[in-house]
Amino acid sequence: MTSSRDAILMKIRAALAIPLSDRVHIDSLPEINGARRSLSQVTPSAVDGFDAMTDQFARWSERLRTEFTLFPDTGRMRSAVRTLVEENNVQSATHRGIVLDEVCAGLDIEMILGNRDDVSQRDLASCDIGITECDALIANTGSVLITAQACGGRALSILPPHHVVLANASQLVPDLPSGYALLREKYGAGTLPAFISLITGPSRTADIERILVLGAHGPKRLTVLLSRE
């Protein structure tokens, strides 16, 4: 008995062996390698240089209602986390990451779940705020690229109603391909994390009469803090 795997693959090979009808027009399709090379000339424009990328990221953030702030150095970015926690009357927070350990250690709030491994999903869901680092910021889409390894797993950035992201200057890249390149560099092309998410603005829906509502199932607020350092 052949397995379904073999049966499906056999059917595909048999189907592809049938010559295409001349009624299907494929002459106008560009050659594939050339097509891949020219991708960056058709997709939404990307810019180079930190300031230009920051401007672009800020413009997208405004449209997406991401709260984005640029800081001159890491020190001031860290103290902004404290301000954020105080101003929003945060009772509980959770975070992941070595840099964040330092940042969050000084926070005077009731419960910081921190880097513990036994954090339950219910604990996460009860937090007012989830703080993570990121793997990259994508300037031409206004997105945050995270992985399970660097950003506290799969649930931390989606369960609490407010997601705060800390990034440094080297993480801001022009476009998606350069974001993926950063991941390959960091983790190895063959050993990418098993969870990679591109987050573009706070959770949203327009399923009811096409009217935009923020905070459908994920965070209602997304804050991105970027240090120039």
Residues 183-212 that bind another protein (CB under 8 A): 192-211
Reduce the DSSP state of residue 116 to 3 states and report it: coil
Nearer to another protein, 29 or 108 (CB): 29
Dihedral Cα 223, 58, 69, 228, nearest 10 deg: 120
Q: Considering only residues 72, 75, 101, 125, which one is a binding residue for another protein as defined by CB under 8 A?
A: 125
Which range touches another protein (CB under 8 A), out of 37-45, 48-56, 72-80, 99-107? 37-45
Structure tokens at 225: 């803090």
Structure tokens at 187: 């983790």
Nearer to another protein, 108 or 122 (CB): 122
Which range touches another protein (CB under 8 A), out of 3-11, 67-75, 101-109, 129-137? 3-11
Which range touches another protein (CB under 8 A), out of 51-59, 73-81, 103-111, 175-183? 175-183
- Cβ atoms 179, 138 nearer than 8 A: yes
Q: Considering only residues 44, 49, 75, 106, which one is a binding residue for another protein as defined by CB under 8 A?
A: 44
* Alpha carbon separation from 178 to 49, 136, 163, 171, 219 (Å, rounded): 13, 9, 24, 10, 26
